[in-house]
Structure 1
Amino acid sequence: MTAIMERPQSMALIVPESVELELTNKCQLNCGHCFNDSGPHQSHGTMTLDDWMKVVAECAELGVTVVQLIGGEPTAFPGWRDLVDHALSLGLEVEVFSNLYHLTETAWETVTRPGVRLATSYYSINAGEHDRVTRLPGSHRRTRANIVTALNRGIPLRVGIVRCHDEQFVEQARQELLALGVHHITVDDARGIGRAGNGQAPTMDALCGNCARGRVAILPDGTVAPCVIGRWLGKENVKDAGGLRRILSGPAWAQIAAGIPPKRSTVTGACTPNDSNDCDPSNTPACAPKYDVAPGPTTLSHCPPNDSQSCAPTEPACNPQFGL
C-alpha cells in the first residue's frame, strides 16, 4: 500500500517590527564579550551592497518599520550611507548602532537626517575600565566625546551599558550619562555568546524571549536568525530564492520561533532577566528598564578613582567632569 504524503500547508507570515542588518564583522574594538567575534582583522562577510539594498527593499514591502545597521562597526561597511538613504526613501526608520569610536563629518551628516537615530554601548565611568572591556586604549575618551557630539547635534541617542563583571561602575556610568543629557539608557549583562561564551555552546538562556517575534537579524553572510544574539539558530539564507518573505512564512522559521521560550511568567506576567542592551539593539519591548527622565543636573554620590593608565597630566583626577 502506497502512503500518500500530504503537502505541507503554507505558514502564516511573521512580520517583525524591526530587522537587524549585521553589515560586517569588522570593528576597531575587540571587546571581550562580543557576540560575533568582531575585531579589526575580521571581514565584512559575503553580503554585497546590492544584496543589502534588496533586503532593505523587501523589509519595506513586508511592512517592517525599523531597520538597524549593526556590526561589528556598521560605519566601516562601504556603502552604509547608501543603505540609510535607501531605507529612508522607502519610509523606514533607521537606527545606526555604532561604537562611536570614530565618525567622519559625512557620517555625522547622515545620522543627523530625520528618521535616523544612533545607539551605542558604554561600559564605565572609568576610562581604564571601559578601555579594558573594549581592549583599545583611548576608546572611552573618543566614545564619550562622540556621545556629547551626538547630543549637541540633536541626534536621538540610545546608550546601553553592558555589565561585564561584578565590580564594574555601572550605576555611576548611568548617572554620568544622565548628567550628560542621555535620556534613554538601558542596562544589561554580557551574554554567553561568541567571545563571551569562552568556547561553550550557546543556550536559550542567553535570549530575551522576543527573538523571531518582534525582530529578525540578517548576518554578514546572509543567514537569517531570530536576532543577533540567537545567531546560532539561523538555518536559511536571504540570498536564496524567495528571499526574506519565503523564510519568514516557512515551516523552518515557524519551528525556530516556537522553540524560543518566552521569558515572561505565564502566571504573574513578571519579567525575567533584563534583555536591554546588545540583545535589544532595536529597542523592542521586553524586560528592559528604561530611564526616560527629564533633563536636569545629576550629581554622583561619589567619584571612583581614575585608572585610565594614561598617567597624562590632562587626565582629570576624578572622572568625569560634567561641567554642570
Structure 2
Amino acid sequence: MEETHDPSTATADPHRTRRRDLLELEITSRCQLTRSSHCYAEAGPTKAHGTMTTDDWKQVIDEAARIGVTKVQFIGGEPTLHPDFTKLVGHALDRAIGVQEYSNLYRVKLRHWRLFEHPGVSLATSYYANTDEGHDAVTGRKGSHVATRSNIIEALRRGIHVQVGIVDVLAGQRVDQARAELEALGVTDINIDRVRGVGNAAKLLPSTSELCGNCAKGRAAIMPDGAVTPCVLGRFLPTGSVKGGSLKAVFESDRWGQVQQLIPQRVGAGCTPDEDSCMPSPGANPSGACTPADSNDCDPSRTPACNPKCN
C-alpha cells in the first residue's frame, strides 16, 4: 500500500493529520452469536470475513505503525474466528503496536489464551445479565452466558485484565445484578451503556447524534471491505478506502474533514472527557463523582482512559 502525498493539496487542519491513537480493525463479520436487535456490526454465524485479505490487513498495520498509531483493536463479528487472527495480532506486536482483542468469549482456544497473556495484548468483552435467560436472550445463543462467564473467570485466573461492557438491551435484563456479579468475580473495569441507534439497532436511518463525540478524533475504524470510517459505530459515514489507497490519504482528504464536522461534541459542564480515548461502542459509566453530561459516550474497553479529566 504505497503512500502518496501532494503538498499542494494538503490540508492545514491539524485534526486531519494528527496521530491516530487507536485504529479499530473489523477483520470479520462472522460471529457464533445470533443477536440482531442491537449489534452494530450486523454480524452472525453465516457472515463472511470480508474482501480484505490477510496481506491487506498486514499492509494496514504497517502503515498504521508508520503514521503513529499506538493501538489497534481487533473487532468483528468475533475476530478470533478469522483464520489468520493470530498472525495479524503477532504482526501488530512485531510493529510495536499495542493490541486489544474485543471478543464475545464464547469459545477460546488454547493458543488464543496464550496470546491474551502477552503483555502487549489486552482483552475486552460484553456481558448482558447475571442469568442464563437474560444473557442468552440478548445474544440469541443458548449457553452463551455460561460460556462467557466461565471464560471471564478463566481470564482472571490467568492474570489477564478483562474490561467488560454491559449494554442495556431488553426490559428486565438485570443489568445492575450483572454488574454486581462481575464485581464479585473480580472484574474492575465495568461500563454500562444503552443501545445505540446504528447497525441493526437503527430504527430508520442512523444519526451522528448516536456517536461518541470522539469518533474521527484520534481514532478511526476499518471495515471488512476496507472502508475507513470515524469509528465502528460510524460505519454509515465512509471516508475512503484502504483497498488500493492509504490511511494517510484518507486522513488528509476533504471527506475526512467533513465527517469530523458532522460529529457533535460531548462535553459536560465542568467535566471534560479524554478526547482521544472515548470509544463509541458500548459506553462507559465511569465510577467516581465526576461524569460527562452524557455518561454513555465511552466504550467499556478503555475505562481508565475514558474517565473524565476532573475530580
Q: Which amino acid aligns with 2:11?
A: S
- Deviation (angstroms), 1:286: 4.7
SS at match of 1:229: helix
Confirm or deny that 1:252 pairs with 2:274. Answer: no
Match of 2:125 in 1: 120
Asked if residue 140 in structure 1 is aligned to residue 133 in structure 2, the reply is: no
2:244 counterpart of 1:240: yes
Write the mapping of 1:210-221 to structure 2, written as runs, cut at 5 A. 210-221=214-225
Hey, what's the Cα distance between the residues in 2 that align with 1:135 and 1:185? 22
Q: Which residue of structure 2 lines up, in the alignment, with residue 272 of structure 1?
A: 294
Instruction: State how far apart, in whole Å, the 2-side matches of 1:202 and 1:213 are.
Output: 20
2:236 aligns to what SS in structure 1?
helix
**Residue in structure 1 matched with residue 11 of structure 2 by the alignment:** 10
> What is residue 78 of structure 2 aligned with on the other side?
73
Counterpart pick for 1:51 among 53, 56, 59: 56
Deviations 1:87-126 (A, max 9, x none): 1111111000000000111111111111111100000011
Tell me what 2:283 maps to. none
Q: How does 1:130-279 map to 2 (within 5 A)?
A: 130-198=135-203, 200-241=204-245, 243-265=246-268, 270-277=292-299
SS of 1:35 mapped into structure 2? coil
| TM-score w.r.t. length of structure 1 | 0.81
* Counterpart amino acid of residue 110 in structure 1: L
Pairwise CA RMSD: 2.0
**Native 8 Å contact 1:68 1:282 kept in 2:** no
Q: Against the structure 1 CA distance between its residues 112 and 285, is the aligned structure 2 distance closer, same or farther, given a 3 Å change threshold?
A: closer
Secondary structure of the equivalent of 1:120?
A: strand
Unaligned runs of 5+ in 2: 1-7, 273-291
Q: Following TM superposition, where does structure 1 have runs of at least 4 consecutive aligned residues deviating by more than 6 angstroms?
A: none
- Residue 9 of structure 1 and its aligned partner are, at CA, apart by 4.5
Distance 1:265 1:184, change over 3 A: closer
Distance change >3 Å, CA 266–CA 233, structure 1 → 2 = farther
C-alpha distance in structure 2 between counterparts of 1:265 and 1:25, whole Å:
35
- Residue 30 of structure 2 corresponds to 26
Q: Which has the higher helix share?
A: 2
Deviations 1:211-270 (A, max 9, x none): 0003110000000000000100013101233x0011112221111112211111478754
**SS at structure 2 position matched to 1:39:** coil
Paired residues of 2:23 and 2:222 also in contact (CA < 8 A): yes
Equivalent position SS for 1:106: helix
Displacement of 1:273 in angstroms is 4.4
Give the aligned residue type for 1:275: D
Q: Deviations over 1:44-64 (max 9, x none)?
A: 110010000011111111111
Secondary structure in 2 matching 1:40: coil
Query: 1:70: how far off?
Result: 0.3
Residue correspondence of structure 1 range 67-106 to structure 2 within 5 A: 67-106=72-111
1:272 corresponds to which letter in structure 2?
D
Cα distance change of structure 1 residues 131 and 43 upon mapping to structure 2, 3 Å threshold:
same
CA distance in 2 between counterparts of 1:275 and 1:267 reads 16
Q: Aligned with 1:55: secondary structure?
A: helix
Aligned AA (1:232): F
Q: State the secondary structure of the residue aligned to 2:232.
A: coil
* Residue 191 of structure 1: how far off its partner (Å): 0.7
Q: Which letter does structure 1 place at the counterpart of 2:150?
A: A
